[in-house]
Amino acid sequence: MSDLSKREEEILDFWNKELIFEKSLEKPAPRGDYVFYDGPPFASGLPHYGHLLQSAIKDAIARYRTMRGYRVRRQWGWDCHGLPVENLVEKELGIKSKRDIEQYGIEKFNEAARVSIMKDVAGWRKIIPRLGRWVDMDDDYKTMDPSYTESVWWAFKTLFNKGLIYEGFKSMYLCPRCGTTLSNFEVAQGYKDIDDIAVTVKLPLVDELNTSLLVWTTTAWTLPGNAAAAVKADALYVKVKVRDEFFIVAKARAAAVFGGTVEVVGEIVGKELAGKKYLPPFSYFTDEFAKNKNIWRVYAGDFVTMEDGTGVVHIAPAFGADDLALAQKNAVPLVRHVTDEGKFVQKVTDFASMSVKPKGNPRETDEKVAALLKERGVLFKEEKIKHSYPHCWRCDTPLLNWAATSWFVKVSALKSKLLSENAAVGWVPEHVGTGRFHNSIASAPDWAISRSRYWGAPLPVWRNTKTKETRVAGSVLDVLSMARRSGNRYFMMRHGEAAHNATNTLDPNGDPANHLTEKGRGEVIHTATELRRENIDLIVSSPFLRTRETAELVRNELGLSQAVLMIDERLHEYNEQPDMLAVRRRMGDFLFDIERRYVGKNILVVSHGNPLWVLQQVARHRSNTKVFVEKNMLRTAEVCEIPFTPYPHNRDYELDLHRPYIDDLPTGDWKRVPEVFDCWFESGSMPFASAHYPFKKDAFNPKRFFGWGSRGYPADFIAEALDQTRGWFYSLIVLGVGLFGRAPYKNVITTGLILASDGQKMSKRLKNYPDPMDIVEKYGADALRYYLLSSPAIKGEDLRFQEKGVDDVSKKLLMRLDNVRSFYDLYADGTRRSSASTHTLDRWIVGRLGEVVQAVFTGFEFYSLDAASRPMAEFIDDLSVWYVRRSRERFKNGGEDKTDALATLRYVLFTLAQVTAPVMPFFSDALYRSVKEEGDPESVHLSAWPEAGIVDGDLLRNMAVVRTLASKGLQLREHSGIKVRQPLEAFEISTQVSETLMPILLDEINVKKIIYTPGLKEDTLDTALTPELKEEGTVREWVRAIQEWRKTSKLSVSDRPGLLIQTPDAEFIRAHREVLIEATGLLSLETKQSEETVFERL
């Protein structure tokens, strides 16, 4: 582990111990709330570089806004549902189809999904904070929580009531492996180029001998489902003779179909072909539809084009949008020759049970179909093609165009508002919003939001099996209102005071000698008199003596028969080793069992403090996490009524809205539709569902009241990868506009993908990228953050990850800045920070700092994080290579000049720590804590964003000129082979230099004078060496040698040792002793003549 990484872990420990994140949320926020939405990741697998890039962006902006005076609530969330999780569980369980899931059991399958999705949470909780990200992972939300689902239900019902949700029968894409249809933007994520075949097939006309229509298709597997043919009404078609056969195709396509010269024997307009009957390519369904007059006819279709094919389109209504529309318009029946598992039905005898588009060899079945067509003489042509074909975004199975019933969001009704709202969003990069995202909205069909799957929020739609009426639930209360209730009333009573209560001891096992005390008997009798008005029908008691005695006293007082008293083992006290979950299960089992067994009864339950308290929580369907908190138990002999309505629950009797529990709820004639939500609908509900809106309104309320702003909506900022334009960004804006009438975000950063160094997708199998945590350990999280935040990925471009890039940041930025801090520590004497020095170098570095403060401010304000990050590296280079190097002698010499330099450097480092804090939170806090003063906040992340101050533009420009000339002069020295320590006479230049900066240029290139010659074609360095210049150069060489000796001897600046140098140049050293002593901080300097040079401390 590197020193930088070790220091980061020390800072992380400081943050945790001192609760710095929590303090940043509690400190005054004069600018109010800054709203940020965090797209929930799947917890399956550990974070990859894409996650780390997004985390770095989100954290940097949140830290910046906090320093700017905002309060930024940062709640972590988990995306738990959907096909990605189901596919993982299927692999773990060896499940290959939906039928396998149902045989395995939906309850067990969904429980496996619940466990699977959270198995890597511990890794996330370690890695995300280690990256330096501040986010509340304790008060997280999960899309599988009942509260989250309830808000999703509210959204569905609200849209339904607005007429924006409907059930429809449409052509969509089906994944036969997953057994469900997909939304348009899910489909868009899975297109791949594949090698395939196209076939041209003969459709013999019934009323014209030896004459066939020619149809062309790239989906030969759909031909057994052919039900019609379509032509363009106003297009011209030709009848072409080929040997002894005649074929009809569009005139515009004849040359492409037949090639070369063709023999045309007739022409006909498309509309005149409409109505003609033909023989289908396969006869599997001719008997079934023998009496149907509309099947296997020609129809006019506006969608027919002349760009490819024959101008005559094969229509399989169950397998294409245009096909379905034509069939619905003309009452053409659907021929379902394929199952939802993507296999031919048994009626297609030649291919029964064969996969129509097999994964791994997608053209295999098409080729077999083509072969049979050829054998039967109806194949005109077969050709190989390469085309883009949709695949499942999760399991990579080729999709099938499929007509099915689904629930839709009516995006078409929102489109105008969606486009206008999107136009007001600040996109980074801008072209994503104005181009790609705008176009996806403009062309978007209605959104299919239901899935025929298992692990997801259930669709809240119930149908009456008798009346077919539909009811939509918008809350748990709506669902419970449909539940069939027994009409029972439940009263729970704790036993009267027993001997163990009087002695304040425990009796978890039912001591047979633990009777009620006299006081306890009196308590029970008093309570029993109050129960007379409740008309108790049944008493159920724990088997323990104290509860049985209590129940018996009540029965006697109420004058009830012995038959109404029952003993139930489930009501006993907890055991010596309390297991509150086991108690909850007992209580839940008891309550639901009694509810099923009795109708219209008033039931008294006599038990113990803890079990009754848990029973009360079960009746209220409060979760386990909410149960195990401070509790208020009943007093001895106290009684209270508990309202209870059966609710969907899991084995722990927690409210659980998943399948199968939601469908097990007794609702009489009302049965829920089997589908679950598209997980994108759930993640798009995150802004309000994570806050359980509208059932809670403390953290989220989109409504405006009399000038008061909304709370928690819209987000000021969100960020995710570019592919989320088809995912989360889209679902967010559709639901936001549909529900609240405006876009859910103001600013969006869309990043590119992070690829392996060779440009390939990062792959665990190929091991073509370094483990992120190895990178953090070697170079530190700050180096990784800076590398990512300053990269082209911030602008939506793909980034080839290079470990060397992180290494460069570590060495050229962090270590260089750390050296500056060490230099400051070397001379620090308590001088307070100040920017008031009039020294030219001090004024310059303060001005440069002001430039950086402004540049970083501008970058963050406009969400250009690369523009905010890059100036930091340039400034650190200026600070180290120019300011500190040029100021070394000032720090050594002491006096007012040293004080000014120290005050300036302390000010610069303090302000630089603040400016770099959002991007490099660890290093900046370590730097800040080393230079902060009494009264400053304890962490840089609790400090305010610095002001840029007044920048002396002339000084900055003039210094830039000097540095350019210095670089040229040093370059000329290098070409001449003359070291910088060797003084030269003159440097002739064509650029005028400010008089105040002339000494700096003279010293930097080590010349005696600068000669300004206007119009000089090329700057010139006088390299002639006089004896005086050579002598001065030799002195400087000895100064360097002595300084090197001090360094290797590990002497501090304050150390003033004596030194003996044995050397052949003893006479030269003696001649320049005083100069050398002064320049190197020695106490004394002696020398002896010697053949070799040796340094010895005196």
Collect all residues with Cβ–Cβ distance below 8 Å to 430 and sequence separation of at least 6. Answer: none
The residue among 303, 314, 328, 305 whose CA lies nearest residue 403 is 328
The question of whether 573 is a catalytic residue gets the answer yes
Tell whether 619 and 710 lie within a shared domain.
Answer: no
pTM of the shown model: 0.88
Residue 425 lies in a domain: no
User: What is the structure's pLDDT at 609?
Assistant: 92
- Of the CA atoms within 13 Å of residue 416, those in its CB half-sphere come to 1
* C-alpha 381: how far from chain center: 49
- Of the CA atoms within 13 Å of residue 985, those in its CB half-sphere come to 8
- Residue after which a domain boundary falls, among 993, 1025, 1057: 1025
Q: Do residues 1037 and 1061 lie in contact, with contact meaning Cβ atoms separated by under 8 Å?
A: no
The residue among 4, 58, 37, 5 whose CA lies nearest residue 751 is 58
The pLDDT tens digits of the residues spanning 120-174 come to 999 999 999 999 999 999 999 999 999 999 999 999 999 999 999 999 999 889 8
> Binding site annotation covers 501?
yes
User: What is the structure's pLDDT at 706?
Assistant: 47
Collect all residues with Cβ–Cβ distance below 8 Å to 377 and sequence separation of at least 6. Answer: 202
Q: Do residues 530 and 604 lie in contact, with contact meaning Cβ atoms separated by under 8 Å?
A: no
The pLDDT tens digits of the residues spanning 817-868 come to 999 999 999 999 999 999 999 999 999 999 999 999 999 999 999 999 999 9
> Binding site annotation covers 906?
no
Tell whether 721 and 620 lie within a shared domain.
Answer: no
Distance CA 687, CA 75 (A): 11
Residue 358 lies in a domain: yes
The pLDDT tens digits of the residues spanning 1010-1064 come to 999 998 989 999 999 999 999 999 999 999 999 999 989 988 888 899 999 999 9
Residue 452 lies in a domain: no
The residue among 1035, 1011, 1032 whose CA lies nearest residue 1021 is 1011
| Integer CA distances (angstroms), 566 to 85, 114, 512, 562, 575, in order | 47, 38, 19, 9, 22
CATH number of the domain enclosing 138: 3.40.50.620
Residue 787 lies in a domain: no
Distance CA 413, CA 433 (A): 21
* C-alpha 323: how far from chain center: 38
Distance CA 880, CA 859 (A): 24
Q: Whose structure tokens read 């759909």?
A: 222
- Residue after which a domain boundary falls, among 348, 365, 390: 390
> Binding site annotation covers 497?
yes
- Residue after which a domain boundary falls, among 706, 741, 773: 773
- Residue 705, pLDDT above cutoff 60: no
Q: Do residues 224 and 298 lie in contact, with contact meaning Cβ atoms separated by under 8 Å?
A: no
> Binding site annotation covers 692?
no
User: What is the structure's pLDDT at 625?
Assistant: 59
Distance CA 60, CA 786 (A): 10
Q: Do residues 989 and 1010 lie in contact, with contact meaning Cβ atoms separated by under 8 Å?
A: yes
Q: Which domain holds residue 1092?
A: 1028-1097
Residue 864 lies in a domain: no
Collect all residues with Cβ–Cβ distance below 8 Å to 945 and sequence separation of at least 6. Answer: 64, 67, 68, 69, 857, 914
pLDDT band at 708 (very low <50, low <70, confident <90, very high): low
* C-alpha 350: how far from chain center: 48
Q: Do residues 611 and 557 lie in contact, with contact meaning Cβ atoms separated by under 8 Å?
A: no
Tell whether 67 and 200 lie within a shared domain.
Answer: no
Packing angle of the helix pair 865-877, 840-861 (nearest 10 deg): 170
Residue 189: DSSP 8-state = T
The pair of structure tokens assigned to 575 is 């055991």
End-to-end CA distance of the chain: 40
Tell whether 1011 and 1037 lie within a shared domain.
Answer: no
Q: List the Cα angle 434/436/437 in 5-degree steps.
A: 75
The pair of structure tokens assigned to 171 is 């052509």
> Binding site annotation covers 495?
yes
CATH number of the domain enclosing 543: 3.40.50.1240
The pLDDT tens digits of the residues spanning 293-328 come to 999 999 999 999 999 999 999 999 999 999 999 999
CB neighbours of residue 429 within 10 Å: 18
Please state, for a pLDDT cut of 90, what percent of the chain lies above it: 86
- Residue 575, pLDDT above cutoff 90: no
Distance CA 570, CA 1056 (A): 86
CB neighbours of residue 681 within 10 Å: 29
* Dihedral over Cα of 599, 603, 607, 611: its sign: positive
Mean pLDDT confidence for 524-541: 96
Furthest C-alpha separation in the chain: 129
Which residues is 594 bridged to in the sheet? none
Q: Whose structure tokens read 């660890």?
A: 922
51, 81, 391, 495: the active-site residue: 495
The question of whether 1044 is a catalytic residue gets the answer no
Q: Whose structure tokens read 């289908």?
A: 280
Distance CA 754, CA 765 (A): 17
Tell whether 584 and 613 lie within a shared domain.
Answer: yes
User: What is the structure's pLDDT at 631?
Assistant: 60
> Binding site annotation covers 498?
yes
Tell whether 1000 and 1048 lie within a shared domain.
Answer: no
Q: Whose structure tokens read 């296999």?
A: 343
Residue 635 lies in a domain: yes
pLDDT band at 274 (very low <50, low <70, confident <90, very high): very high
- Residue 695, pLDDT above cutoff 60: yes
- Backbone angle region of 276, left / alpha / beta, with phi > 0 → left and psi within -120 to 50 → alpha: beta
8, 150, 573, 1004: the active-site residue: 573
The residue among 1085, 1081, 1035, 1083 whose CA lies nearest residue 889 is 1081
Packing angle of the helix pair 921-931, 781-789 (nearest 10 deg): 120
Tell whether 206 and 297 lie within a shared domain.
Answer: yes
Q: How many residues does the chain have?
A: 1098
Tell whether 687 and 616 lie within a shared domain.
Answer: no
The pLDDT tens digits of the residues spanning 57-74 come to 999 999 999 999 999 999
Tell whether 1034 and 1020 lie within a shared domain.
Answer: no
Distance CA 438, CA 436 (A): 6
Packing angle of the helix pair 3-18, 121-130 (nearest 10 deg): 110
Element housing 4 (H / E): helix 3-18
Position 846: which residue type?
V
Provide, for the chain, the percentages of residues in helix, strand and coil under a 3-state DSSP scheme, each rounded to the nearest 5. Answer: 45, 20, 35
Exposed, middle or buried, 1005 (CB in 10 Å: 0-12/13-18/19+)? buried
Distance CA 228, CA 316 (A): 7
Q: Do residues 1022 and 985 lie in contact, with contact meaning Cβ atoms separated by under 8 Å?
A: yes
User: What is the structure's pLDDT at 455?
Assistant: 96
Tell whether 636 and 573 lie within a shared domain.
Answer: yes
Q: CA torsion, points 110, 111, 115, 117, in degrees to nearest 10?
A: 20
Tell whether 592 and 688 lie within a shared domain.
Answer: no
How many separate domains does the chain show?
5
Distance CA 935, CA 942 (A): 12
Residue 285: DSSP 8-state = T
Q: Do residues 389 and 191 lie in contact, with contact meaning Cβ atoms separated by under 8 Å?
A: yes
Distance CA 781, CA 961 (A): 36
Q: Give the SS3 label for residue 907.
A: helix
Mean pLDDT confidence for 175-202: 88
Average pLDDT value over all residues in the chain: 93
Which residues is 1084 bridged to in the sheet? 1058
Tell whether 199 and 128 lie within a shared domain.
Answer: no
Distance CA 944, CA 941 (A): 8
* Dihedral over Cα of 242, 246, 247, 252: its sign: positive
Which residues is 1007 bridged to in the sheet? 984
Q: Do residues 56 and 785 lie in contact, with contact meaning Cβ atoms separated by under 8 Å?
A: yes
Residue 727 lies in a domain: yes
Element housing 844 (H / E): helix 840-861
pLDDT band at 709 (very low <50, low <70, confident <90, very high): low
489-512 as b/e: b if 16+ CB within 10 A:
bbbbbbbbbbbbbeeeeebbebbe
Mean pLDDT confidence for 959-978: 94
Alpha helices (H) along 94-219:
98-104, 106-117, 121-130, 146-161, 184-188
Packing angle of the helix pair 816-827, 865-877 (nearest 10 deg): 50
pLDDT band at 624 (very low <50, low <70, confident <90, very high): low
Residue 986 lies in a domain: yes
The pLDDT tens digits of the residues spanning 871-915 come to 999 999 999 999 999 999 899 888 899 999 999 999 999 999 999
| Integer CA distances (angstroms), 420 to 175, 423, 502, 742, in order | 34, 5, 73, 9
Q: Do residues 239 and 264 lie in contact, with contact meaning Cβ atoms separated by under 8 Å?
A: yes
3-state secondary structure 586-627: HHHHHHHHHHHHCCCCEEEEEECHHHHHHHHHHHCCCCHHHH
| Integer CA distances (angstroms), 196 to 220, 295, 713, 832, in order | 10, 29, 48, 75
- Residue 269, pLDDT above cutoff 80: yes
Q: Whose structure tokens read 């070394």?
A: 888
Mean pLDDT confidence for 672-687: 96
